[in-house]
Amino acid sequence: MASHRYFDRDIGCMAVKLLPSEYYVTEDNTALTTVLGSCVAACLHDPQAGVAGMNHFMLPADADEQPRSHADAMRYGEYAMDVLLRELLRSGAKRERLHAKVFGGGAVLPTMTTLNIGDRNADFVVQYLREQGIAIAAQDLRGPHARRVCFLPSTGKAVVRKLRTQAGVQMIQRDEQALMHRLVGDAAPTPAARQPASRPA
């Protein structure tokens, strides 16, 4: 769960900043913020129970069936969405009352367009929510821009700002390049074990 708490001067209240692979569920007025490139954040809210949450995932699904730690598994939407939904239900939310707002899935690097990571994340979160019977109240997905999202659990309101400043774009591009390097590393074949040299009989 995200743990970076700070006072957000723009909205005048305490907030929690979510980094990639994190989530947060709250029953108070703490705002939830994150910055997205190709990643996607899902914001779920049950207004009757007064509970809401957000996650931030990097990829839609894990193609590797090997066991992963919780922290590693949270990179993937299929796991991150299950965790967020489970924690909301544990906190008193009802599935049929939940509303979703989803953001991100941008293509801020040319290579990301080739890999379609943002599109795949966007497609995944829409399909997941449809299968769970959770209505999407708002969405801002895909496109060439990075986004800063501020979600206010007390009202269910979300404010999205497209990042166009050089500093903001460069920060996201660094994160996207790190993701690219990680993906390339994960996809690289494992070197074959070195065979001992044969000896003449």
Q: Is it the case that residue 69 has pLDDT exceeding 70?
A: yes
Average pLDDT over residues 80-89: 98
Let me know if 39 is a catalytic residue.
yes
From 13, 39, 43, 150, active-site residue: 39
Q: Is it the case that residue 51 has pLDDT exceeding 60?
A: yes
pLDDT digits (tens, 9 = 90+) for 122-164: 999 999 999 999 999 999 999 988 999 999 999 999 999 998 7
Predicted pLDDT at 95? 97
Residue 92 within a domain: yes
Positions of E strands within 89-145: 99-104, 135-141
Residue 194 within a domain: no
pLDDT band with cut points at 50, 70 and 90 for residue 78: very high
Provide the residue range defining the domain that includes 72. Answer: 4-186
d(CA 47, CA 101): 13
Per the CB < 8 A criterion, the answer to whether 156 and 118 are in contact is no
Residue 192 within a domain: no
d(CA 130, CA 132): 5
Predicted pLDDT at 126? 98
**How many structural domains compose the chain?**
1
Residue 175 within a domain: yes
Residue type, 176: E
d(CA 190, CA 199): 26
Residue 198 within a domain: no
Average pLDDT over residues 44-70: 89
d(CA 58, CA 167): 21
d(CA 113, CA 107): 6
Q: Is it the case that residue 42 has pLDDT exceeding 80?
A: yes
Q: Is it the case that residue 77 has pLDDT exceeding 80?
A: yes
pLDDT digits (tens, 9 = 90+) for 7-23: 999 889 999 999 999 99
Between 194 and 174, residue with greater pLDDT: 174
Question: How many other C-beta atoms can be found within 10 angstroms of the C-beta atom of residue 180?
Answer: 16
Per the CB < 8 A criterion, the answer to whether 98 and 134 are in contact is yes
Cα angle 188-192-198, degrees, rounded to a multiple of 5: 160
Provide the CATH number for the domain around residue 25.
3.30.1330.200
The whole-model pTM stands at: 0.82
Q: Is it the case that residue 112 has pLDDT exceeding 60?
A: no
Residue 46 within a domain: yes
Residues 6+ apart with CB under 8 A from 195: none
